[in-house]
Amino acid sequence: MASIMTKVMQFANSPKGKQVIRQATEKAQQFASDPKNRAKIDDVRRRIQGGRGGSRGTGPAR
């Protein structure tokens, strides 16, 4: 029996899977280009990275 990851990979490599991925990518790019949505994305990114740039120390000093 094929694992679920194998099935996902087979779908992603199929013509229909590539079309679905391309459409999702285009929709995500349109969503991210809206300034309000971009601010939400940046906020979530800051939260995931620890609020102050994560462990890399690249965030603004406070």
Domain-embedded: residue 54: no
CA dist list (Å): 51 to 7, 16, 32, 44, 57: 37, 39, 20, 9, 11
Instruction: Return the number of other C-beta atoms located less than 10 Å from residue 4's C-beta.
Output: 8
CA dist list (Å): 22 to 5, 16, 34, 42: 20, 10, 19, 23
Q: Is the CB of residue 21 less than 8 Å from the CB of residue 12?
A: yes
Domain that holds residue 34: 13-44
pLDDT tens for residues 46-57? Answer: 999 985 654 555
Domain-embedded: residue 49: no
Classify residue 53 as left (phi > 0), alpha (psi -120 to 50) or beta. left
- Confidence category of residue 59, pLDDT binned at 50, 70, 90: low
pLDDT tens for residues 3-33? Answer: 999 999 999 999 999 999 999 999 999 998 9
Work out how many domains the chain is built from and give that number: 1
pTM across the whole model: 0.56
